[in-house]
């Protein structure tokens, strides 16, 4: 797992003398604004610190079934889940990016057993840190044996079985699209 990448930009290539002259002609007698002394900082990257011994109950791998509920296979390509009793508005807000993504877990290249263990550890840590919204990258299954998204369905099933999961939906294209899920966690308690 890794924090989301910050928005650092590479330096532009140097301008030729002709390009510099064109630029100076275009800006005319414009002058830079005076320095306000304020720094413009990028938004903080989500954190994920490794804490092997978290207090409280931890769910073991044996607690999660690999059974894929029929609602996951009948719903079409896009997966989503809303815990019973939650307002539909919650899922709509999650789809629209209402909550910032605070951490992510990348399951690419993992076996089902490794992915389940990683997901359990990640969710336990997110709960301990009080995180609200996270991304789970399960991949699209393009490099699996039958080019089917095995981890996508299993991760969705595992998430549905966890008490702290309030909702999840497919990520927006910029956040991974069909290869990732945005997950809303219960905070507190």
Task: Judge whether 41 lies within some domain.
Answer: no
Cα–Cα distance, 18 to 20 (Å, whole number): 5
Q: What pLDDT score does 14 carry?
A: 85
CA 145, chain centre distance (Å): 25
Domain that holds residue 121: 79-185
Task: Judge whether 39 lies within some domain.
Answer: no
- Write the DSSP symbol of residue 170: E
3-state SS assignment for residue 163: coil
Q: Cβ(58)–Cβ(124) under 8 Å?
A: yes
**Residue 25 to residues 18, 29, 155, Cα–Cα distance (Å):** 11, 9, 57
Task: Judge whether 62 lies within some domain.
Answer: no
Task: Judge whether 43 lies within some domain.
Answer: no
Structural domain count, the chain: 1
Going through 9-160 in order, the beta strands assigned E by DSSP cover: 80-82, 103-106, 133-137
Task: Judge whether 179 lies within some domain.
Answer: yes
Q: Say which CATH number the domain at 121 has.
A: 3.30.1370.110
pTM of the model: 0.62
Provide the token pair at 159.
């998430």
Q: Which pLDDT tens digits describe the chain residue by residue (189 residues)?
A: 444 444 456 677 888 899 888 888 888 888 888 888 777 766 655 544 433 444 444 444 456 555 555 555 455 567 889 999 999 999 999 999 999 999 999 998 888 899 999 999 999 999 999 999 999 998 886 666 666 667 888 899 899 999 999 999 999 998 888 889 999 999 875
3-state SS assignment for residue 77: coil
Cα–Cα distance, 124 to 138 (Å, whole number): 18
Task: Judge whether 61 lies within some domain.
Answer: no
Q: What pLDDT score does 51 carry?
A: 39
């Amino acid at each position: 797992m890794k924090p989301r990448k910050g928005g650092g930009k590479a330096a532009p290539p140097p301008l030729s003398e002709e390009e510099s002259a064109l630029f100076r002609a275009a800006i005319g007698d414009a002058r830079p604004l005076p320095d306000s002394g304020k720094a413009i900082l990028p938004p903080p990257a989500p954190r994920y610190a490794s804490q092997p011994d978290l207090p409280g109950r931890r769910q073991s791998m044996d607690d999660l079934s690999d059974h894929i509920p029929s609602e996951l296979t009948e719903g079409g390509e896009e997966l989503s889940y809303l815990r019973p009793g939650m307002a539909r508005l919650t899922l709509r807000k999650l789809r629209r990016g209402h909550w910032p993504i605070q951490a992510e877990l990348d399951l690419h290249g993992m076996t089902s057993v490794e992915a389940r263990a990683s997901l359990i550890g990640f969710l336990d840590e997110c709960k301990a840190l009080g995180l609200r919204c996270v991304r789970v990258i399960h991949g699209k299954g393009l490099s699996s044996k039958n080019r089917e998204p095995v981890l996508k369905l299993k991760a969705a099933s595992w998430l549905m079985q966890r008490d702290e999961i309030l909702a999840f939906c497919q990520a927006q294209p910029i956040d991974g699209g069909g290869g990732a899920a945005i997950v809303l966690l219960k905070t507190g308690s």
